[in-house]
Amino acid sequence: MLTYSKTKKFKLTLKAAYKNDSVSEFVVKKHLNTTLISENKTIYLYFKNTNCSLCALKKGISNFVKQNNYDVDVDFNSFKIKDKTNQEILQAICNCISYQNHPFKNYKTTKQEEKAHYNIVSNGFENDQKIFDTLNVVNYYRNLARDLQNMPPNKLKPIDFAEIIKKEVKKISNNNLKLTILDQEKIKHYKMNLLLAVNAGSIQNASVVILEYKGNKHEIAKKNYAFVGKGITFDTGGISLKTPPNMRGMKYDMSGAAVATLSLLAAAKLNLKANLIAIGCLTENQIGSSATIPESVITSMNGKTVAINNTDAEGRLAVSDGITYAINKLKATNIVELSTLTGAMLIALGQYLTGVFATNDNWFNNFKEAAAIADEGIWRMPIHNQNVKNMKASRVADLTNAAATRFGGSSNAAAFLSQFAQGLPFIHLDIAGTATEDFHDDSGTGVMVHTLVALSMLQSKK
């Protein structure tokens, strides 16, 4: 639990200490070390520089929260960071505490220990309270995204995901928010055949969760920002079956849908003056007697034909119909698509930067500004003409879902998706690396929730 107030609530206080500060001789003067001075009822977090970096602050707070079991007041005004505003410092502290202190949802029969309570104490209460309240909302939805990511695949099937979103919508009192859930028959009705092709081998029906938020009714005809997320609740690879080691972590293949839908709910909860759409394309990718077989040709919702040359390149199929639905049915003008799409992204950028592929420089610059505000790491990646050629190289269909070459895999996937954007400003986020802290250790990150909310805030100001 995290609160914000003018006064202290607890016996212990966490306070920053710097190289030249006058503190007890018993404070261990080692960078990012914490020392409890019991007579002062103070825990000192030591920084070797007079003004530490934001990165050092986040690391210090995170390390402390991971090991702390006490209820603590945080002396906000003691933290000093060169060239950073109070808002940026408050955001870093709140985000780190909320992230590290969030209870991990598990299914053990033993009772979990209660998490510590934190109270941020500041003399700039009135201005910072609004910032804190906003951060609390965003962190709630980011942590919910992490909970969904970490759920076992037998506990989170497509219909379960949809029901959780339905429950969350009911908690928000906002007449501008609308939820639509497409069942299997509706998906067939709209000819979302690429999504159905992925779903063909599963006994679980596909589902499409659609959220519409009209926060600025005066601008409805001009700007509609769509977040489309990949929601593969488990990916076996289909007929192009993964090896057992490569099947670990495949419950995280629904991360894009969790982030897309919960980012919109955060914006609705905050009553932002923006018009937003979120679409989660949900299915398992399973093997079975009716599973789609390689070399099949499927007609997508927008009429393009696709040769399915690898059933383990399924995510791009599912979200393509989601992109088409956002444009054709809901009149989206700008699109951000999120998916744990390619292993090649892990090779390129590791687990610390999200790959961004953009077809429009202005739209990318807006997104880049939002990512900077949210303090989430991104790196722009290319969609080369050759990538488009690679995805159009099929002799039997308009597109192939798997290029003949293994080189430039992430860019090839982005090129495929761009073919469904109909010339609109389009961003593809490959979160294959950043969606988890450790791919094999229940640790979803809810990455990009903060950025998408910040992007919505920027649009609400225009």
Residues with catalytic roles: 242, 316
> What is the pairing mode between strands 207-214 and 225-235?
unpaired
- Output Rg (C-alpha) for the chain, integer angstroms: 23
100 within 8 A of 233, measured Cβ to Cβ? no
Tokens of 447: 């990455």
Cα dihedral 441, 142, 274, 207 in deg (nearest 10):
50
Cα 348 to chain centroid distance, Å, stands at 19
Tokens of 260: 């897309």
d(CA 363, CA 358): 8
- Kindly list the distances between the CA atom of residue 174 and the CA atoms of 41, 184, 223, 277, 457, in Å, as whole numbers in the listed order: 44, 28, 20, 15, 17
- Kindly list the distances between the CA atom of residue 200 and the CA atoms of 132, 193, 293, 304, in Å, as whole numbers in the listed order: 46, 10, 10, 19
233 within 8 A of 156, measured Cβ to Cβ? yes
> What is the pairing mode between strands 207-214 and 12-18?
unpaired
Q: Pick from 88, 120, 116: which is nearest to 103 by CA?
A: 116
- In DSSP notation, 153-174 reads TTT--HHHHHHHHHHHHHT---
Q: Which residue has the tokens 């659609």?
A: 210
- In DSSP notation, 179-212 reads EEEE-HHHHHHTT-HHHHHHHTT-SSPPEEEEEE
Buried b (16+ CB within 10 A) or exposed e, 116-129: bebbbbbeeeeebe
Tokens of 132: 């804190």
d(CA 252, CA 153): 9
